[in-house]
C-alpha cells in the first residue's frame, strides 16, 4: 500500500524523525502528496502499461477478436540518498541549549536531502549519475506523451496547457508541475482572459496551492528555464501526471521512508554524528498517466 510522507509523519514515533519529515515536506506540495510504495528487496520488477486493451461490438455468430493491453517489463532499483550531520562537542557543551543546536544542524541536513530528492524526482538520469535513479522527465521520454510548443518553442498558451492535460489518459492529472517562470506566465494568461487570478486551496499542512481546472499547480525550483529546443535555449518544461501505484509514484524500503540514525561519537574529530537517509526511487507504472510539454519560452 502506497503512503505519503505526510502519512509517514503520523507513523513516526521519534520526535526528531517527525521534525525531519516536516522539514522535508514543508512548502512542497509534491513531496507532501506523492505516494511512496514500500517494496521488499532492493528493486522492483513491474510491467509498465503502454497501450490499453480494446473492445468492439459483434453480431450474432461473429468471430470474436482478442485484445490485451501491451506492457514493457521494467526494473527499478532503490538508491541510497542521505547525508551526515555533525555537531561539534565544544559548541554543544558551551551553547545554552544543546537540543536547539543539534536540531538546527539536522534540519539543515534534512533540507539538503529534500532538495536532492526534489531534483532527482524530476531530472534524475542514471546515464549521468549511475548512483541516482531516473526521474519523471526521463521516464516520460520523447514519445507520444511529449508534446511541444513548436519546433523552436513558443510562449505558453492556455490551449496548449489544456492539450497537455488532455494527453494524460485515464482521468485528470493529480498535479501540474512547472517552473516559477512558467507559473508567472500562466497567471498572466489567466488575468488576460478576464478570469482574474488562479483559484487556490490549502494542503493538509496549510500550504496554499493554486489550481488550474481544479488541478493543483505545483512549482519546482529544479525545472530549468534554459533548456534547448530547436534554436531556442531559453525553454522550460511543464509536466502533468497522475499519482499512485498505477501511475507515477515513489518507491521506498519502509513505511516511514526517511530514517534518522544516530551514528555517535567520531574518532577523527570532537563531534557527534547523525545520519539522515532514505532508500528511494520512483516508477511510472503507465506511460499514459503522465505527459510533458517542452519548448515553453518566456
Over residues 177-225, the pLDDT tens digits come to: 999 999 999 999 989 988 777 888 887 767 788 999 999 999 999 999 9
One domain, residues 149 and 207: yes
Q: Which three cell numbers stand for residue 160?
A: 496548449
- Identify the band that residue 5 occupies on the pLDDT scale cut at 50, 70 and 90: confident
**Residue 21, in any domain of the structure:** yes
- Looking at the structure, tell me whether residues 126 and 251 fall in a common domain: yes
Q: What is the pLDDT of residues 271-286, one digit of tens each?
A: 999 999 999 999 999 9
* 20 and 153 co-located in one domain: no
* Contact between residue 76 and residue 283 where contact means Cβ atoms under 8 Å apart: yes
Domain that holds residue 95: 3-51+71-134+246-284
Please check whether residue 176 lies inside any domain of the structure. yes
Higher pLDDT residue, 68 or 172?
172
193 and 122: one domain? no
Report how far residue 224's alpha carbon sits from residue 122's, in angstroms, rounded to the nearest whole number: 10
HSE (side-chain half, CA atoms, 13 Å) at 39: 24
Could you tell me if 287 and 145 are in contact, meaning their C-beta atoms sit under 8 angstroms apart? yes
| pTM for the full predicted model | 0.89
pLDDT in tens, 10-42: 767 677 778 888 887 777 888 888 999 999 888
Question: In sequence order, which residues have a C-beta less than 8 Å from that of residue 277 and are 6 or more positions away?
Answer: 80, 81, 82, 83, 113, 258, 259, 261
Examine residue 156 and state whether it is found in any structural domain, yes or no.
yes
Residue 206 and residue 115 share a domain: no
Residue 260 lies in a domain: yes
Helices (H) and strands (E) in the chain, counts: 8, 17
Flag whether 159 is in a domain: yes
Say if residue 153 is in the same domain as residue 237. yes
More confident residue, 231 or 48: 231
The answer on 208 and 77 residing in a single domain is no
Instruction: Answer yes or no: are the C-beta atoms of 293 and 231 closer than 8 Å.
Output: no
pLDDT at position 66, please?
84
pLDDT at 103: 82
pLDDT of 81 reads 95
295 in a domain, yes or no?
no
Q: What is the CATH number of the domain that holds 36?
A: 3.30.2400.20
Beta bridge partners of 238: 293
Same domain, 168 and 94: no
Dist. CA 285–CA 73, nearest whole Å: 10
Place of cell 515536506: 25
pLDDT of residue 96: 59
Residue 75 shares a structural domain with residue 217: no
Establish if 86 belongs to a structural domain. Answer: yes
Position 201 scores a pLDDT of: 86
Within-domain flag for 179: yes
CA–CA dist 226, 233 (Å, integer): 6
Write out pLDDT tens, residues 214-266: 999 999 999 999 999 999 999 999 999 999 999 999 999 877 788 888 899 99
What percent of the chain stands above pLDDT 90? Answer: 57
Please tell me whether residues 186 and 121 are part of one structural domain. Answer: no
Span 139-155, average pLDDT: 95
Q: Residues for the chain: how many in total? A: 298
The helix-helix angle for 158-167 and 180-192 (nearest 10°) equals: 120
* Domain identity same for 250 and 233: no
- Picking from 223, 151, 146, the residue whose alpha carbon sits closest to that of residue 183 is 223
Residue predicted with more confidence, 152 or 69:
152
Q: Examine the pLDDT at 97 and tell me if it is beyond 70.
A: no
Helix (H) or strand (E) holding 91: helix 89-94
- Indicate if the alpha-carbon torsion angle 41, 42, 43, 44 is positive or negative: positive
Total domain count for the chain? 2
Whether residue 85 is found in the same domain as residue 175: no
pLDDT attached to residue 123: 97
Amino acid at each position: 500500500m502506497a503512503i505519503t510522507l505526510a502519512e509517514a509523519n503520523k507513523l513516526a514515533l521519534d520526535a526528531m524523525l517527525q521534525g525531519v519529515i516536516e522539514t522535508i515536506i514543508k512548502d512542497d506540495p509534491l513531496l507532501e502528496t506523492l505516494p511512496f510504495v514500500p517494496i521488499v528487496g532492493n528493486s522492483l520488477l513491474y510491467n509498465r502499461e503502454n497501450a490499453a486493451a480494446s473492445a468492439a461490438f459483434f453480431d450474432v455468430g461473429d468471430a470474436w477478436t482478442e485484445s490485451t493491453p501491451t506492457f514493457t517489463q521494467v526494473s527499478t532499483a532503490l538508491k541510497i540518498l542521505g547525508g551526515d550531520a555533525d555537531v561539534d562537542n565544544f559548541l554543544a557543551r558551551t551553547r545554552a541549549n544543546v537540543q536547539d543546536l543539534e536540531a538546527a544542524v539536522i534540519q539543515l541536513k534534512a533540507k539538503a536531502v529534500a532538495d536532492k530528492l526534489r531534483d532527482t524526482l524530476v531530472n534524475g538520469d542514471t546515464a549521468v549519475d549511475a548512483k541516482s535513479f531516473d526521474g519523471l522527465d526521463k521516464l516520460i521520454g520523447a514519445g507520444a506523451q511529449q508534446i511541444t510548443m513548436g519546433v523552436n518553442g513558443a510562449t505558453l498558451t492556455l490551449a496548449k496547457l489544456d492539450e497537455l492535460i488532455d494527453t494524460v489518459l485515464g482521468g485528470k492529472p493529480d498535479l501540474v508541475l512547472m517552473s516559477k517562470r512558467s507559473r508567472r506566465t500562466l497567471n498572466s494568461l489567466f488575468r488576460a482572459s478576464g478570469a482574474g487570478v488562479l483559484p487556490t486551496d490549502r494542503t493538509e499542512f496549510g500550504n496554499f496551492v493554486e489550481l488550474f481546472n481544479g488541478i493543483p499547480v505545483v512549482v519546482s525550483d529544479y525545472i530549468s528555464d534554459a533548456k534547448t529546443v530547436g534554436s531556442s535555449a531559453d525553454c522550460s518544461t511543464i509536466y502533468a501526471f497522475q499519482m499512485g501505484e498505477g501511475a507515477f509514484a515513489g518507491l521506498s524500503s519502509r513505511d516511514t521512508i526517511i530514517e534518522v540514525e544516530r551514528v555517535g561519537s567520531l574518532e577523527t574529530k570532537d563531534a557527534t554524528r547523525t545520519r539522515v537517509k532514505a532508500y528511494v526511487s520512483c516508477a511510472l507504472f503507465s506511460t499514459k498517466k503522465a505527459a510533458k510539454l517542452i519548448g515553453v519560452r518566456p
